[in-house]
Structure 1
Amino acid sequence: MRRQRLRLLAVAAALIFAMAFAGAPAHATPGVLVYPGMEIHQGTTVCTLGFVDPGARIAFTAGHCRGDGPVVDNVGNPIGALASFRDNTPDGATVATDHLISDWETISLAPDVMVNDILPGGRVLVSDPAVVPTPGLPICHFGVVTGESCGTIESVNNGWFTMANGVVSQKGDSGGPVYVITPDGRAAIVGMFNSTWGNYPAAVSWQSASQQAREDVVQAASGQIFTS
């Protein structure tokens, strides 16, 4: 079932990528490597890539990172195109714990970039449905500004959670992966950095974001490419 969903996501993303770049001169530079935790630019916005699926050639980041034109790396090489997004991140320093926050973007990766699922520190970033955010769970977060910082989940709310006890983040870390270190030394993603609410860095749940992305594949196939 998961393979079928990934194939569907890949087919829809390929169609979206072709539409986004139809008639455009921009192309990815052969040899550019795309990986989770890398710095990406969309328009004037700098963010962190959260999750990369090498098989489907799809990447995720925060929805509020979206911008005009192609998605590029830190030196301006195009690596892909916005495929779909959801973003209802509220303005302000506080948010009610029952507020449903959706903040993710899928990126269809260009056919000529190299892709892997290895974080800058060397760990393989995987998606494991059995690993879910729970209060007190030890986690780490990677952002292009602050690097890797670790702590625990402070509270789990409606599609998002807050972090404490050592987790830090700055502007530019948005979209960066939040993960659990598994016994075999890999990293299992549980979220993507969203914002800081009060004193706590917050992330959207990976389970919620990936499920919503799968739902939007059906909408994209029906002609509704972008969701907000």
Structure 2
Amino acid sequence: MALGTIVWASPAQAAPPPMPGVSVDHGAGGCTAGFAAQGNDGSYYLMTSGHCDSHDGKEWTYGDAAPLGRISASEHEGEKRDAAIIRLDPSIGPPVGDVGGRYRVRDTLSRSQIQEGMPFCKIGAVTGETCGVVNGVQGDVVEASVYSLDGDSGSPGFVMNSDGTVSAVGLLMSSPEGDDYTTYFMLIHPLLNRWGLHILP
């Protein structure tokens, strides 16, 4: 009598909580999740770039196509403003606040606190962690000598602190045509009051 091989089905693994720096997608292209936040309404959010918003109300996913949520606010005005927030589905629970799962966010820097030459980093879904310096600030946009590629849009841009924490600065917007080593970030400090948010530590 031949003995068949018994294959036990493994239980479905729950997706790990989303965090700043992971890839997010809505079917028409991928971007990167920026800083995690909580709203005055108690909901949890992940920030990203406004140009990632296709304005079709589609659900966003992360990881292995795990449901994430939908964009609840966005703005995209050329090279001046470029930000959006994804309201997380309540079933997900709180996201991880640490950038890349390893850098705790201590605070958020305003425009006046950002100086030319300041060391600056980002964590993107495509190029990972890359660092450089701040080249300058114009309006709500920071220019930094940081490497990035398509798919890194929305990446959290930050300054490392001596205690190992980071200070949140901005969301990756774009790079000049043909220059992947210069990247623009939109400041998040003005967005927090406008959208009723605080960054998760």
Give the TM-score normalised by the residue count of structure 2: 0.78
- How far off is 1:212 after superposition? 3.5
Task: Work out whether 1:137 is the aligned partner of 2:118.
Answer: yes
Which of 30, 39, 42 is the matching residue for 2:23? 39
Ranges in structure 2 where 5+ consecutive residues have no aligned partner = 1-12
Task: Work out whether 1:117 is the aligned partner of 2:105.
Answer: no
Q: Which residue of 2 aligns with 1:75?
A: 64
Q: Which residue of 2 aligns with 1:12?
A: none
Cα contact 2:15–2:63 (8 A) shared by 1: no
Give the structure with higher Rg (CA). 2
Q: Give distance in 2, aligned partners of 1:34 and 1:139.
A: 23
Alpha-carbon displacement from aligned partner over 1:68-108 (angstroms, at most 9, x marks no partner) = 31011132211111111001125xxxxxxxxxx11110111
**Secondary structure at 2:91's aligned position in 1?**
coil
**Secondary structure at 1:197's aligned position in 2?**
coil
* AA matched with 2:45: I
Q: Give distance in 1, aligned partners of 2:106 and 2:83.
A: 17
Cα contact 1:140–1:180 (8 A) shared by 2: yes
* AA matched with 1:38: V
Q: Which residue of 2 aligns with 1:178?
A: 157
* AA matched with 2:67: P
**Secondary structure at 1:34's aligned position in 2?**
coil
- How far off is 1:30 after superposition? 5.4
Task: Work out whether 1:64 is the aligned partner of 2:45.
Answer: no
Cα contact 1:41–1:74 (8 A) shared by 2: no
Alpha-carbon displacement from aligned partner over 1:55-75 (angstroms, at most 9, x marks no partner) = 741211101111331011132
Task: Work out whether 1:147 is the aligned partner of 2:128.
Answer: yes
Q: Give distance in 2, aligned partners of 1:31 and 1:76.
A: 9
| Equivalent residue runs for 1:185-200 within 5 Å | 185-197=164-176, 199=179, 200=182
Percent of counterpart pairs with the same letter? 25
Alpha-carbon displacement from aligned partner over 1:135-180 (angstroms, at most 9, x marks no partner) = 111111111111101110001101101111xx10000000001101
More strand by share: 2
More helix by share: 1
Q: Give distance in 2, aligned partners of 1:121 and 1:113.
A: 16
Q: Which residue of 1 aligns with 2:77?
A: 88
Which of 151, 167, 185 is the matching residue for 1:203? 185
Q: Which residue of 1 aligns with 2:140?
A: 159
Q: Give distance in 2, aligned partners of 1:187 and 1:56.
A: 23
Q: Give distance in 2, aligned partners of 1:134 and 1:48.
A: 25
Cα contact 1:163–1:202 (8 A) shared by 2: yes
Count of residue pairs the alignment pairs up: 175
Q: Which residue of 1 aligns with 2:7?
A: none
- How far off is 1:125 after superposition? 2.8
Give the TM-score normalised by the residue count of structure 1: 0.70
Q: Give distance in 2, aligned partners of 1:212 and 1:102.
A: 13
Provide closer, same or farther for how the CA distance between residues 160 and 130 of structure 1 changes in structure 2, counting only shifts above 3 A: closer
Ranges in structure 1 where 5+ consecutive residues have no aligned partner = 1-28, 91-100, 216-228
Q: Give distance in 2, aligned partners of 1:113 and 1:135.
A: 39
State the Cα RMSD in Å: 2.3
